[in-house]
Amino acid sequence: MMEYTRPRLLSMLVLIIAGLGVLFLGRAQSQSNFVGGDPTRSATSNVRTSELRFEAGSRSNWHSHGNFQVIMAEEGRGRTQKRGEPLQEMLPGVAHFAPRGVVHWHGAAPDSYLVQLTISSGETSWFEPVSDEDYLGQ
């Protein structure tokens, strides 16, 4: 009976030590991600994130945001434009910024779909549809 209990106790001891090691290593690892303390995360409902898929040729209406919008192509190709400025090509990994109140639009290229990541803040004000001339950069 003693021979059976000893390996069992040894196994339990190894499991306890392994568990403590994982616990302490996990804590040390998360603390090493920041220098000078862990930042606090605000609980705001004013910032929205979304992932939108536009099919080729589709686009938003002209609009603006109460605070800002950051958009970036994740897949495919797109277009964006601030009113009165030249048309911009949207390529994966390149962020585009629309400040508070700047009227703009965004959508897919004529020959490509677009998966777009969006971070925006403030109320969205919607305006007229984007004309084909604006969309084509004419």
Of 137, 85, 92, nearest in space to 110 by CA:
137
| CATH number for the domain harbouring residue 53 | 2.60.120.10
DSSP type of residue 111: T
- Domains contained in the chain, number: 2
One domain for residues 59 and 92:
yes
One domain for residues 73 and 101:
yes
Domain that holds residue 19: 1-40
DSSP type of residue 55: -
One domain for residues 29 and 7:
yes
- CB within 8 Å of 136: residues ≥ 6 apart: 110
pLDDT digits (tens), the chain, 138 positions: 455 556 665 555 555 665 555 555 555 444 567 777 777 777 767 889 999 999 999 999 999 999 999 999 999 999 999 999 999 999 999 999 999 999 999 999 999 999 999 999 999 999 999 999 999 988
What is the value of pTM for the model shown?
A: 0.71
* Phi/psi-derived region of residue 37, left when phi > 0, alpha when psi is between -120 and 50, beta in every other case: left
One domain for residues 72 and 29:
no
Q: Is 134 helix (H, G, I), strand (E, B) or coil?
A: helix
One domain for residues 6 and 36:
yes
